[in-house]
Copies of this chain bind each other. A is one copy, B any other.
């Protein structure tokens, strides 16, 4: 059933807008995703928003119309509003025509089936939401099972992370865990823990990686703590031909993840 909201001071508009803050997201267990592409990605994964805001003309696009129909068929809350109110919700002058409000998508570590994918990515104290979203997007591309966020990472449900993920946060499992919990869980079954380190001497193309592989990514500025590196089954480095000593965290993750995928493809070939 659709309803209309036209007032800026409507309590629902204020409440939805507040989801741009982590504190409110956490309290409500909800987050925002914007734009037809990401909302369609979610729908193709069978995930509908709890609430859908659109500015009327969205219905003209067949994919948007299909989403709205499906929400209405399942009793979802579809709210027709103005572009100005969408601007207010999204904090952007040119808002996307669709904004969805979704329930948090966290998976407990104990519910992860490590055999469900050959590659898993674990990130420690990641600070940049763009990097986090980009890593999710790369995870989707290489067929990873999900992203395990260790220690104090940036919120995976921030608007920036959701946008950078391009919908991959609906296809990748997302886990929050402490390092000791993660290691305890990891060592209860098979799983090769692979870290990248400036101090490593082993080239990243040397080892024959095993599945399931757990790729461990460190904080953007500090890299991995020494104790975490010590726990890795393999510590590798990428060749650095220039003056800089490190890659962007999302880039390093992607170069490693494609090496894992390529080795798997070559074994099968």
Contacts and interface: CB of A to CB of B under 8 A. Distances in A.
Interface of A: 41, 44-45, 130, 134, 137-143, 164, 166-168, 171, 205, 238-244, 246-248, 250-251, 254-255, 258, 261-262, 265
B261 A241 contact: yes
Contacts of A164: 248
14 contacts: A134-B250, A137-B247, A141-B238, A141-B242, A141-B244, A141-B247, A142-B239, A166-B244, A167-B244, A171-B242, A171-B243, A248-B254, A254-B255, A255-B255
A239 B261 contact: yes
Contacts of A251: 134, 137-138, 250-251, 254
A143 to B, nearest CB: 3
A139 B251 CA distance: 12
B239 A265 contact: yes
B254 A247 contact: yes
Nearest to A257: B255
Looking at A137, A164, A248, which has the most chain B CB atoms within 10 Å of its CB? A248
A260 B238 CA distance: 14
A140 B239 CA distance: 11
Contacts of A41: 243-244
A244 B44 CA distance: 11
Contacts of A262: 205
Most buried by B among A205, A262, A265: A262
A126 to B, nearest CB: 15
Given A238-B258, A248-B134, A248-B164, A243 B142 contact: no
Contacts of A241: 140-143, 261
